């Protein structure tokens, strides 16, 4: 299939409406759903349509596929024709679906395979449920790209006729012993144990696994005893394995919360039984345990213990034994999350909640780029899976999304897992860039962490509730976290000054507050663009202002709309989308002189030369990156004079508006800017010079190096 034909087929199978509804971050970003899936989504295990589970499909079928093949491409090329299960639930349904089993047999027979030796009923009830493609692949040393169905076909053609077991849940030695005890016909060496079991053992209801105990299974699962008329072991294969039902008096398994995200799609029962099958010595151990629990010795031990403590009594039927680490769900969750990280060690860790389009997300990328040894830097997303701007981060940095797993845990477990990850990875420096879980972990475990690593936390600005209350990380996670930090980092001087006064910080704590002015992303042009703007203004029908930002309450896009209505003689071109708040109501009618575009990817995409200035209307802020970029390009700027903005924009470098929220104040500032070309050039040049001198990338890197060198000294 040609590339064009493949893309057309994928577009036909892809459900854009489902994708947009399921992954709101893609919709908010204004990205094309199919383009996002093909570029990023499939690698993040996102689903191209409702039925296809990306994580399940990749693990099940793409282990040996080319690294750039997406689940959707494989589905279009092979999966759809083969009728592959698209998710774990469908796979389990098929195990219990006689029609599906018959269809598989018909397909194999149509392929030319002689399956007269395969009984349809037994195939459905036992062969298919007991078959393990992974174990078969490992046992045969198969490294070729074969699907599970192809492996099943190979087993049925070459191994099944010899009586070879289909998977690790069939214990040949155990069955052989039980068959002899039951007086079954002798085992024909030419037919093998598995065929003997199908012919004789099934009828005698001999479970081919030492750990399955029918009495325990029925006692612990009364619904099976009451409603299932067949053999309990058959129910266990079809349902009990996947439903984590208890099956042995010797084993207690505690299903962990992240089990549903396990890439192999196996239940804890199946994982444990597979593990036990690979350890023959374990069978003797379980047999010894069973004998001990029925012995006079345990009776005597418990009797003597009861004399000392009456609460101790002989444990009666149905008690389960603890087998480390299988009974420890918390450890299993930690292990599953740790296995997501391919690095054994990481010198530096950057914690961030997600990567959307916000300034903090951008700054996390700037930080990752400024730190040395990117191959030893690990970026962890802790709150949400969004990874909208991977281009902000160095290619050698390892970025991992932990949010899907962490969000399944209790809050205290999340903090403990993150603490253990930091400890186990041996990170020397840990930077928190707006991760709520990071702040919570620093608050709970900061004293311990500070003994073996250096903690840094970024604070940008407080937020405000609709009724004007100050909230956010500088309010909730500053005083309790600061004692554990090597340094509290700020992108402006206004916020640390306010916090110093609020908490009356002593000199030793004040010294931890470090201002690192964020660098401009792009290299500034040799000449400020304001000169080109003034030279080209006669070619525009009317003055053009640019505005860009999140369409959230903080950024006051509503003011932009009112300014446009108050100034019909100018045009305002805007770029942005909602990130933290709900998307803007489509029913809002924008004035004709305001154009709203999707969020941009690079600042130099904007028509900077063919405009007359930059407008910024935020109600509160730190020192926004977009103003640094505007200054670095030498643009004249009208902006709210709030929080850290006056450190960049004052009466010498722009047109600050102190009456935030007053439409007329912005209108007056815009009129003043547009009315005097000489002053517009002069202020834009001074802003340009301030950014060049204070917001250079090399200065930012040098400040970071100083901070890390201080702790090394």
Residue pLDDT, tens place only, 353-390: 999 878 899 999 999 999 999 999 999 999 999 898 89
Average pLDDT over residues 86-93: 71
The radius of gyration of the chain's CA atoms, rounded to the nearest angstrom, is 33
| 471 SS3 class | strand
pLDDT confidence band for 638 (50 / 70 / 90): very high
pLDDT at 582 over 80: no
Work out the number of other CB atoms within 10 angstroms of the CB of residue 296.
Answer: 7
Spatial separation of the C-alpha atoms in residues 327 and 39, rounded to whole Å? 40
* Token pair recorded at residue 713: 């000294």
Residue 178 structure tokens = 């039980």
Name the least confident of 29-33, 453-457, 573-577, 578-582.
578-582
| Tokens of residue 42, six digits | 């499939």
Position with higher pLDDT, 244 vs 150? 244
Chain length of the chain: 713
496 falls within a domain: yes
Q: What pLDDT, on a 0 to 100 scale, did the predictor assign at position 351?
A: 99
How many H-runs (helices) and E-runs (strands) does the chain carry?
Answer: 35, 15
* The predicted structure's pLDDT at residue 205: 95
**Any idea what the Cα angle at residue 320 is, between residues 201 and 323, rounded to 5°?**
95
219 belongs to a structural domain = no
**Sheet (strand 594-597) strand order:** 594-597, 571-575, 544-548, 613-616, 637-640, 655-657
Could you tell me if 450 and 557 lie in one domain? Answer: no
Where helices occur in 426-551 by DSSP H, the ranges are: 436-449, 473-476, 494-503, 507-510, 530-536
- Tell me if 272 is assigned to some domain: no
Inside any domain, residue 193: no
Looking at the fold, whether 448 and 365 belong to one and the same domain comes out as yes
pLDDT of 114 above 50: yes
Q: Do 688 and 560 reside in the same domain of the chain?
A: yes
- State the pLDDT confidence band at 249, using cuts at 50, 70 and 90: confident
Question: What are φ and ψ of residue 6, in 5° steps?
Answer: -65, -45
Query: Residue 446 above 70 pLDDT?
Result: yes
Same domain for 407 and 495, yes or no, is yes
pLDDT band at residue 314 using 50, 70 and 90 as cut-offs: low
- Residue 106 pLDDT grade (very low, low, confident, very high; cuts 50, 70, 90): low
By mean pLDDT, which of 167-171, 352-356, 709-713 is the weakest? Answer: 709-713
Other CB atoms within 10 A of residue 246 CB = 18
Percent with pLDDT over 90 in the chain = 60
Task: Give the number of other Cβ atoms within 10 Å of residue 42's Cβ.
Answer: 23
Round to whole Å and give the CA distance between 449 and 456.
11
Residues 556 and 504 both lie in one domain: no
- Residue 435 belongs to domain with CATH number: 3.40.50.2000
622 and 671 together in one domain: yes
User: Taking a C-beta distance cutoff of 8 angstroms, is the pair 431, 379 a contact?
Assistant: no
- The whole-angstrom separation of Cα 303 and Cα 312 is 8
Two structure tokens written together for 262: 């396990």
Instruction: State how far Cα 252 lies from the chain centre.
Output: 30
Q: Can you tell me the distance from the alpha carbon of 127 to that of 548, in angstroms, rounded to the nearest whole number?
A: 61
What does the pLDDT read at residue 713? 41
User: Given this model, what pLDDT does residue 645 score?
Assistant: 96
Which structure tokens are listed for 544?
Answer: 């053009």
Is 568 in the same domain as 627?
yes
pLDDT of residue 585: 57
| Domain end marker among 37, 66, 86 | 86
Comparing 93-102, 136-145, 504-513, the range with the smallest average pLDDT is 93-102
User: What pLDDT does 678 receive?
Assistant: 97
Distance CA 556, CA 551 (A): 8
Residue 59 pLDDT level (bands cut at 50, 70, 90)? confident
Domain final residue, candidates 482, 515, 548: 515
Dihedral sign for Cα 638, 642, 645, 651, please. Answer: positive
Burial (CB count <10 Å: 0-12, 13-18, 19+), residue 218: middle
User: At 298, is the pLDDT very low, low, confident or very high (cuts 50, 70, 90)?
Assistant: confident
- The pLDDT value given to residue 98: 55
Q: Measured between alpha carbons, how far is 318 from 291 in angstroms, rounded to an integer?
A: 15
User: In the chain, what percentage of residues exceed pLDDT 70?
Assistant: 91
Residue 251: pLDDT band by 50, 70, 90 thresholds?
Answer: confident
Residue 235: both structure tokens together: 């129910």
Looking at residue 363, what DSSP letter applies? H
Mean pLDDT computed over every residue of the chain: 89
- Asked if 497 and 564 sit in the same domain, the reply is no
Number of domains in the chain: 3
What are the pLDDT digits (tens) for 507-539?
A: 999 999 999 999 998 888 999 999 999 999 999
553-573 per-position pLDDT tens digit:
889 999 999 999 999 999 999
The per-residue pLDDT for 148 is 78
Span 224-248, average pLDDT: 90
* Distance in angstroms (rounded) separating the CA atoms of residues 639 and 657: 6
- β-pairing verdict for 429-432 and 398-401: unpaired
pLDDT band (50, 70, 90) for residue 650: very high
Residues 6+ apart with CB under 8 A from 102: 120, 124
Alpha-carbon 598 to chain mean position: 25
Q: 35: domain range?
A: 3-86
Residues 507 and 594 in one domain: no
Q: 280 φ, ψ to 5°?
A: -55, -35
With bands split at pLDDT 50, 70 and 90, how would you rate the model's confidence at 412? very high
CB atoms within 10 A of CB 652: 10
Q: Confirm whether 230 is domain-assigned.
A: no
Q: Where does the pLDDT of residue 84 fall: very low under 50, low under 70, confident under 90, or very high at 90 and above?
A: confident
In a domain, 593, yes or no: yes
Measured CA angle at 357 (ends 475, 354), to 5 deg: 65
Contact 487, 638 (CB under 8 A): no
Q: pLDDT tens digits, residue range 203-220?
A: 999 999 999 999 999 999
Q: Is 313 domain-assigned? A: no
pLDDT of the residue at 65: 75
* C-alpha distances out from residue 584 to 30, 525, 551, 578, 589, Å: 13, 35, 7, 7, 11
pTM for this one?
0.77
Contacts of 324 (CB under 8 A, 6+ apart): none
Report DSSP state, residue 204: T
Taking residues 14-39, what's their average pLDDT? 88
Check: CB of residue 244 under 8 Å from CB of residue 326. no
Average pLDDT over residues 499-514: 95
Tell me how far apart the terminal alpha carbons of the chain are, to the nearest angstrom.
Answer: 62
271 pLDDT exceeds 60? Answer: yes
Specify whether 360 is located in the same domain as 424: yes
Distance CA 287, CA 668 (A): 88
**Got the DSSP string for 648-660?**
T-STTTSEEESST
Whether 290 is covered by a domain: the verdict is no
For the segment 99-110, the average pLDDT, to the nearest whole number, is 62
Average pLDDT in the 55-69 region?
A: 81
- Does the pLDDT value for residue 145 go beyond 50? yes
549 and 504, same structural domain?
Answer: no
On whether both 509 and 543 belong to a single domain, the answer is: no
Highest mean pLDDT among 20-24, 140-144, 411-415: 411-415
Q: What band does 632 get if pLDDT is binned at 50, 70 and 90?
A: very high
- Identify the band that residue 488 occupies on the pLDDT scale cut at 50, 70 and 90: very high
The pLDDT tens digits of the residues spanning 669-705 come to 999 999 999 999 999 999 999 999 999 999 999 999 9
Last residue of a domain, one of 86, 112, 128: 86
Specify the pLDDT at position 43. Answer: 86
Contact 580, 588 (CB under 8 A): no
């Amino acid at each position: 299939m040609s590339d064009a034909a493949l893309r057309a087929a994928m577009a036909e199978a892809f459900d854009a409406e489902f994708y947009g509804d399921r992954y709101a971050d893609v919709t908010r970003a204004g990205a094309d759903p199919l383009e996002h899936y093909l570029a990023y989504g499939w690698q993040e295990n996102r689903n191209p349509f409702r039925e296809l589970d990306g994580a399940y499909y990749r693990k099940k079928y793409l282990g040996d596929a080319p690294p750039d093949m997406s689940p959707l491409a494989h589905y279009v090329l092979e999966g759809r024709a083969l009728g592959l299960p698209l998710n774990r639930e469908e796979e389990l349904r098929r195990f219990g679906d006689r029609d599906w089993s018959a269809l598989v047999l018909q397909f194999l027979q149509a392929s030319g395979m002689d399956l007269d030796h395969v009984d349809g009923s037994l195939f459905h009830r036992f062969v298919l449920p007991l078959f393990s493609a992974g174990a078969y692949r490992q046992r045969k040393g198969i490294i070729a790209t074969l699907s599970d169905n192809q492996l099943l076909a190979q087993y049925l053609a070459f191994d099944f006729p010899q009586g070879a077991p289909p998977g690790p849940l069939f214990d040949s030695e155990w069955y052989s012993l039980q068959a002899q005890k039951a007086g079954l016909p002798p085992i024909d060496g030419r037919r093998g144990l598995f065929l003997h079991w199908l012919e004789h053992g099934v009828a005698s209801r001999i479970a081919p696994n030492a750990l399955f105990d029918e009495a325990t299974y029925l006692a612990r699962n009364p619904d099976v005893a009451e409603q299932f008329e067949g053999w309990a072991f058959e129910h266990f294969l079809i349902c009990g394995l996947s439903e984590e039902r208890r099956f042995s008096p010797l084993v207690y398994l505690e299903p962990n919360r992240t089990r549903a995200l396990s890439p192999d799609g196996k239940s804890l029962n199946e994982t444990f039984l597979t593990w036990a099958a690979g350890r023959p010595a374990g069978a003797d151990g379980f047999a010894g345990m069973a004998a001990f629990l029925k012995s006079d010795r345990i009776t005597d031990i418990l009797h003597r213990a009861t004399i000392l403590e009456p609460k101790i009594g002989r444990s009666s039927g149905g008690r389960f034994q603890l087998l480390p680490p299988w009974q420890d769900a918390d450890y299993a969750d930690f292990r599953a999350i740790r296995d997501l990280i391919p690095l054994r060690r990481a010198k530096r860790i950057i914690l961030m909640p997600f990567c959307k389009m916000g300034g903090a997300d951008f700054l996390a990328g700037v930080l990752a780029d400024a730190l040395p040894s990117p191959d030893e830097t690990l970026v962890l997303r802790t709150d949400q899976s969004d990874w909208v701007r991977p281009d902000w981060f160095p290619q050698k940095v390892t970025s991992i999304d932990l949010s899907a797993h962490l969000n399944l845990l209790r809050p205290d477990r999340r903090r403990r897992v993150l603490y253990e990850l930091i400890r186990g990875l041996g990170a020397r420096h840990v930077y928190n860039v707006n991760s709520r879980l990071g702040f919570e972990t620093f608050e709970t475990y900061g004293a311990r962490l500070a003994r073996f690593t250096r903690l840094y936390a970024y604070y940008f600005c407080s937020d405000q509730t609709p009724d004007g209350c100050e909230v956010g990380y500088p309010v909730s996670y500053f005083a309790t976290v600061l004692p554990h930090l090597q340094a509290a980092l700020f992108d402006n001087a206004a916020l640390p000054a306010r916090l110093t006064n609020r908490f009356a910080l002593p000199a030793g704590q004040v010294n931890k507050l470090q201002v690192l002015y964020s660098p401009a992303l792009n290299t500034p042009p040799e000449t400020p663009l304001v000169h080109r703007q003034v030279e080209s203004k006669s070619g525009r029908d009317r003055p053009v202002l640019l505005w860009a930002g999140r369409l959230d309450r903080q950024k006051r896009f509503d003011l932009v709309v009112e300014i446009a209505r108050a100034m019909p003689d100018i045009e305002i071109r805007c770029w942005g989308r909602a990130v933290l708040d709900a998307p803007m109501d489509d029913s809002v009618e924008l004035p004709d002189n305001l154009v709203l575009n999707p969020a941009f990817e690079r600042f130099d995409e904007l028509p900077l030369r063919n405009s007359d200035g930059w407008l910024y209307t935020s109600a509160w802020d730190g020192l926004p990156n977009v103003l640094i970029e505007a200054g670095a390009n030498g643009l004249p700027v009208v902006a709210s004079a709030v929080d850290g903005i006056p450190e960049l924009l004052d009466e010498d470098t722009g047109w600050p508006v102190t009456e935030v929220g007053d439409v007329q104040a912005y209108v007056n500032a815009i009129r003043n800017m547009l009315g005097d070309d000489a002053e517009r050039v002069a202020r834009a040049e001074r802003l340009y010079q301030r950014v060049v001198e204070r917001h250079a990338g090399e200065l930012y890197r040098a400040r970071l190096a100083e901070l890390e060198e201080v702790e090394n000294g």
